[in-house]
Amino acid sequence: MTGVQTCALPISWLVSAAVGPSSELAAAVASRADLDADLLSALITRPEPEVARALAGNLMAPIDAAAFQMLVSRAASDKPLAQALCARAMDDDDVTPLFLHATHKQRMAILLDARRANLGRTRGPAPDQIAIATAEEIESAALNHDGLLFQAIIARALGVSVPTARELITNEGGEALALALCALYVSPDAASRIFMICCPPQIAHDAGRVRALTRIVDEIAPATARAIVEAMLGRPARAKTPRYVPATDSTARPTPSRPADASRKTAEPRKQGGLLFMRRA
């Protein structure tokens, strides 16, 4: 938590500092234990990340649900802010956009809500041929230990950069990868194989954890998973993203279980002692 300031200062000085040109002074005001709603209103609209982080880290700040969501909307590309918001979040705060930085308990609550949303409902419309072929190519890249291709296909299918896709794929715990695979119509069986190849040993070699991740793919509807992934990316749930057009031929059978054609293989599989082959540089 940010160090909370407590020395008495004239309210006029605090207001001037909150709206003045110095982000350092504004951040100092944001860290005060006696922060009131008026000062919060002046500070929360400031664009400087250090001010937002100071507010989020000040557990005495009177941040209501609306103010919390304003800060959440800025946290997609600000890891320290996201972590501070997760640390202060109450049980009724929506931390779905902060999933990549959320605690295990918070992630489980998000996933439980997603499962409840699907009770008594179908999994939604069946995937089209492009989605089926994309899912097939995702599994094929994993089975061939082609980490760069695996990342590139997921990036293009989600409409994000490769580094952003890598962050989802390598995020600790594997839940973000499970949601991304679910959103892209990868089958539970294929996802299970992917987890055993792509996840670090503490997951890949633990049958219980692989089953838990596979249940995410099996029990959450793709549209619901897509909405969670879009929230992680800081985008509206129905945002349009470029469609990935896979190289798989149109006559391929509609199950993502066929190994890649050897003629399309561009590099030898990279196996690193069972470690995650897409790990960060």
pLDDT (tens digit, 9 = 90+) per residue, 236-247? 654 444 445 565
Question: Residue 175 pLDDT > 90, yes or no?
Answer: yes
pTM of the full predicted structure? 0.75
Closest to 58 measured CA to CA, from 77, 78, 39: 39
What per-residue confidence (pLDDT) applies to 71? 95
Model pLDDT for residues 25-58, shown as the tens digit of each residue: 999 999 999 999 999 999 999 999 999 999 999 9
| Average pLDDT over every residue of 65-70 | 93
Report the first-to-last Cα separation within the chain, whole angstroms. 30
Identify the bridge partners of residue 32 per DSSP, sorted by sequence position: 5
| Average pLDDT over every residue of 240-256 | 49
Paired tokens of 251: 């006559």
Return d(Cα 2, Cα 200) in angstroms, integer. Answer: 33
What per-residue confidence (pLDDT) applies to 6? 57
